[in-house]
Amino acid sequence: MATTQTVRVGRGLGERAMGRVFLAPSFAFMAVIALFPVFYAIGRSLYDIQGFRQEFTGIDNYVRVLTDPGFLNAVWNTLVFTVASVSLEFVIGMAFALIMNQAFVGRGLTRAVILIPWVIPTAVAAQVWRFMFDRNPGFVNAVLGTDINWLRDPFWSMVGVVSADVWKTAPFVALLLLAGLQTIPKDYYEAARVDGANALQRFWSVTLPLLRPAIVVALLFRTVEAMRMFDFAYVFTGYSNSLATLSVYAQRYLVREPDLGYANALSTVTFVIVMLVGLAFISRMGRHMIGDVARKEKR
Amino acid sequence: MPLLPHQKRYTARVFAAGAAALGLTLATACGEPPGEGTAGEGGDTAGLSDDPAFVWAVTGADRAIHEEVARLWNEENPDQQVDIFFLAPTADEQRQAMFQDLQNQAGEFDVLGLDVIWTGEFAEYGYIESLEDLRGEVEGVSLEGAVDSAQWQQELYALPYSSNGAFLYYRTDLVEEPPTTWEELYDTGTAAAEEAGISAYVGQGDQYEGFVVNFLELYWSAGGQLFDDAQERSTFLEGDAATTALDFMTRAYETGFYADGFDTMVEDDARALFQAGEAVYMRNWPYAIPLLQGEGDEESAVVDDFAVAPLPTFGGEGTTSALGGLNNAVSTLSDSKELAREFVLWAATDPEAQDVLMRNSLPPTMLSAYENTEDPDFQMLGDILAQAEARPPVPGYNSLSLAVQDHLHPAFRGQAEPQPALEAVDQAANDALEQE
């Protein structure tokens, strides 16, 4: 949406039409690889499929989804995970970004080092963390001096997955926020300093408001990704209900306990939930960014 | 918010950074799955024949053995050669690959190498042909448990190919005689472990199929049976076998008889600990023997200090192992069903084919193979398999297995009440008999 708006702002009509022509192939491509599977899945979710036998059952699968305690449990797990991991990642990522934005000796090295966790494939990172959390040989317990069943106790396994995910994705948030920080002109800080604002006030009144678009983008990406998190939960506890997220729960009916119609209904509901959250973010983001552009236009 | 001249460019920049980052995430997420080497872990044909008449889909684990069997067939039948499509080594992925072939009407596979627990599901879904008329060829020839695992509702849908059974591995330097009852196992294990300063028992306690197998072995050896003979209703709670088995596991977990981390342990975790000399007893499949003897890449601390025995029971009589292995079935989508049937029968009953498995330490299903072997461990395995129990190949076995994992795993760890957990499994067993 933001792109079409921008196009309309500066250019003439002819170029707009040209833009559509240029966009058509990529739109067609998106339609084939993204929209078709979505609608196909929605179609399949209206059937009860057992091997070669299938029967149209309308919304039965959806009724079952909404009354399935396993599904509600997965929603709860996903929410807990999303809220916990995204808030921690945001706070830690912000701290990283502020550090990396300072000029100091070894800044380049620090930036590179901080990004290492994020470039490791999640499935690999998950295996490594699982091994470290395992009670036998028990690396994490040895370091912390605890005797916690990190992988099987429902509470602690959630703590484990959240920490592993924070370790992995806080650098990603830091990267996005750093990009935002670097666009803030130094003049504002100087002006604030002249006005006698201390560090906290400068952060609160200059950095945060100007960083807002970057923050919204970072939170959007992280929230949507966290809501469809699969790797860590699956590697840590398999299909166990104690940690099953929406994706893991859908996968269970797709692969482990095949019931294709139901699996498609679960995927569709998951898709809708994630999309609603995504739209909520985008609409907020859109209001600020597009609003600014529009105001500029009027002027 | 104040209007800034660079606002637009700034927004675009944030977007670009975000998009680049997202793109990278996607690229890594869609990359090669870790640990799947290009050495053909699965997902391609083996190229055993230039002009194959039919295709056998089978697990990529023990790849060399299946290839040798197929080559033997091709030598004997140069006009009707087989090629192998190797599936992934893990059971879930194998099943998914076969489901995709069948459900999408692709029909690339003629012969399906099925895990022993899938018979009912594939039969019920209409994926595999009835082989009831071949029953006479395998009864009395193949292991009884293997034949049981290949039938659903008294109809034969597959023929046995390979088998697997459990040994109790024990440390000869710490235990004099292998125990015959679970109680004795518990007592001797606890005492020896304390003396040596190691763990008493390792096995398969992670929340997966292996846990179900470990539980069922206790359950069966306490006299339990999941279903009545007609496979019409659950008899899970009849008698006290379920309680006995669960109580044993709960106590073993609480008192530390099970090694630390038992609840996340799979086959190879147990093997590694036992191999490092960290446990008195281990429940495991036969594959660990050569590794423990130091024939693998890893050093073994127990080369001369271990032996195998049958698993104990609660009464001290006999032994009860869960039966593993593969059965071969004929796909209903095959366009060379006659040939596929011939191959399935040949793989089950040809002494040479079955001998290929034996020579490669993959337990065969033909009784005569065990009678002719001179390896004492395999002779013992023959006895164990003759008494082994097949997990019931009912259509809903996967749901039943997940129910056992969902309910009994927290229960044995003391995080759920045992009685409701057992009742939930009973309910799931009844549900597993009928398709929804």
0.80 exceeded by the pTM? yes
Q: What is the pLDDT of residues B245-260, one digit of tens each?
A: 999 999 999 999 999 9
Concatenating the DSSP letter of every residue in A115-149 gives HHHHHS-HHHHHHHHHHHHSTTT-HHHHHHT----
> Crossing angle for the helix pair A69-101 and A208-227, nearest 10 degrees?
150
pLDDT confidence bin for B90, thresholds 50/70/90: confident
Same domain, B304 and B335: no
Instruction: Determine the average pLDDT of the residues in B132-157.
Output: 94
Size of interface A-B (CB pairs under 8 A): 135
> What is the rounded average pLDDT of the residues A29-58?
90
Q: Mean pLDDT in chain A? A: 88
Do B328 and B317 belong together in one domain? no
B11 within some domain: no
| pLDDT for position B58 | 95
Sheet of B306-309: strands edge to edge?
B199-202, B279-284, B167-171, B306-309
Give the DSSP per-residue string, B162-228: EEE--EEEEETTT-SS--SBHHHHHHHHHHHHHHHTSEEEE---SSSHHHHHHHHHHHHHTT--SB-
How much is the average pLDDT of A110-125? 89
Give the mean model confidence (pLDDT) for residues B17-46: 42
Question: In which band, very low, low, confident or very high, does the pLDDT at B34 lie, cut at 50, 70 and 90?
Answer: very low
Condensed to tens digits (0 to 9), the pLDDT of residues A183-229 reads 999 999 999 999 999 999 999 999 999 998 899 889 999 999 999 99
Residue position matching structure tokens 């690959």? B97
What is the C-alpha to C-alpha distance for residues B4 and A229, in angstroms, rounded to an integer? 37
* Higher-confidence position of A25 and A5: A25
DSSP letter at A256 equals: I
Alpha carbon of A127: minimum distance to chain B alpha carbons (Å): 10
Contact status, residue A98 vs residue A180, Cβ threshold 8 Å: no
Residue in A6, A221, A293 nearest the CB of B22: A221
The pLDDT value recorded for residue B298 is: 87
pLDDT digits 0-9 by tens, B333-386: 999 999 999 999 999 999 999 999 998 889 999 999 999 888 999 999 999 999
* pLDDT value at B170 more than 90: yes
Same domain, residue pair B303 and B427: yes
Which of A47, A136, A237, A298 best probes binding to B when mutated, by most B CB atoms within 10 angstroms? A136
- Across the interface, whether the CB atoms of B14 and A180 are under 8 A apart is answered yes
Task: Give residue B372's pLDDT.
Answer: 87
Clarify whether residues B317 and B328 are in a common domain. Answer: no
Q: Which B positions 2-21 lie with beta carbon below 8 A of chain A?
A: 3-4, 6-11, 13-15, 17-18, 21
- Pair (B97, B245) in one structural domain: no
DSSP state for residue A253 in the 8-state scheme: I
Q: What's the pLDDT band for A287 if we cut at 50, 70, 90?
A: low
B419 and B276 share one domain: yes
Residues B3-28 pLDDT 10s: 444 444 444 444 444 444 444 333 33
Nearest CA in chain B to A149: B261
- Tell me, yes or no, whether B35 lies in a domain: no
- Nearest CB among B7, B15, B402 relative to A256 is that of B402
B295 and B219 belong to one structural domain? yes
**Do residue B14 and residue A293 have CB atoms under 8 angstroms apart?**
no
Minimum Cα–Cα distance from A155: chain B residue:
B415
- Note the pLDDT tens digit of each residue in A52-87: 888 999 999 999 999 999 999 999 999 999 999 999
The answer, yes or no, to whether residue B77 has pLDDT greater than 90, is yes
Structure tokens at A145: 């001096």
Q: Are residues B281 and B271 in the same domain?
A: yes
pLDDT of B189-226, one tens digit each?
Answer: 999 999 999 999 999 999 999 999 999 999 999 999 99
A100, A118, A217: best to mutate for the B interface, most B CBs within 10 A: A217
Q: Does B92 contact A255 at a Cβ distance shorter than 8 Å?
A: yes
* Helix (H) / strand (E) containing B95: helix B91-103
Which range among B24-28, B113-117, B290-294, B415-419 shows the weakest confidence by mean pLDDT? B24-28
Q: B-chain residues within 8 Å CB-CB of A239?
A: 402, 405
Q: What is the pLDDT of residue A8?
A: 52
- Measured between CA atoms, how close is A10 to chain B, in angstroms? 12
In this structure, are residues A54 and A48 in contact, taking their beta carbons and an 8 Å threshold? yes
3-state secondary structure of B252: helix
For residue B418, tell me if it sits in a domain. yes
Q: Rounded to a whole number, what is the distance in Å from the CA of B62 to chain A's nearest CA?
A: 23
Residue B32, in any domain of the structure: no
- Report residue A16's pLDDT band, with 50, 70 and 90 as the boundaries: confident
Nearest to B123 by CA among B107, B140, B102, B145: B102
On whether residue B7 sits in a domain, the answer given is: no
The complex's ipTM works out to 0.75
Statement to judge: residues B143 and B80 lie in one domain: yes
Residues A237-243, mean pLDDT to the nearest whole number: 87
Residue B42 belongs to what H/E stretch?
Answer: none
For residues B52 and B158, state if they share a domain. Answer: yes
Residues 6+ apart with CB under 8 A from A200: none
Which of B365, B386, B407 finishes a domain? B386
How far, in Å, CA of A61 to CA of A71, rounded? 12
Q: Is residue B1 a part of any domain in this protein? A: no
Q: Evaluate if residue A289 carries a pLDDT over 70.
A: no
Structure tokens at B135: 């029953």
Q: Give the strand pairing for A53-56 and B159-164.
A: unpaired
Facing residue for B13 by CB, picked from A2, A172, A179:
A179
**Under a CB-based contact definition with an 8 Å cutoff, are residues A100 and A114 in contact?**
yes
Residues B208 and B341 in one domain: no
Structural domain of B366: 47-164+323-386
Task: Give the C-alpha separation, B234 to B104, whole Å.
Answer: 34
* pLDDT at residue A15 in the model: 83
- pLDDT at position B30 is 35
Q: Do B29 and A122 touch (CB under 8 A)?
A: yes
Q: Is residue B98 included in any domain, yes or no? A: yes
Furthest CA-CA distance within chain B: 90
Nearest residue on chain B to A214, alpha-carbon basis: B14
Mean pLDDT of A263-267: 95
| Residues of chain A contacting B125 with CB distance shorter than 8 Å | 50-53
Does B31 reside within a domain? Answer: no
> Does B126 contact A52 at a Cβ distance shorter than 8 Å?
yes
pLDDT of residue A56: 94
pLDDT band at A295 (very low <50, low <70, confident <90, very high): low
CA dist., res. A60 & res. B353, Å (int):
49
CATH of the domain at B370: 3.40.190.10
H helices, E strands: number in chain A? 15, 2
- Give Cα A115 distance to the centre of its chain: 17
The reported pLDDT for the residue numbered A138 is 84
**Ordered structural domains, chain A, with CATH:** 7-37 (no CATH), 60-298 (1.10.3720.10)
Please give the tally of structural domains in chain B. Answer: 2
Counting residues of chain B whose pLDDT is more than 90, the rounded percentage is 74
pLDDT at B172 > cutoff 80 = yes
Same domain, B358 and B406: no
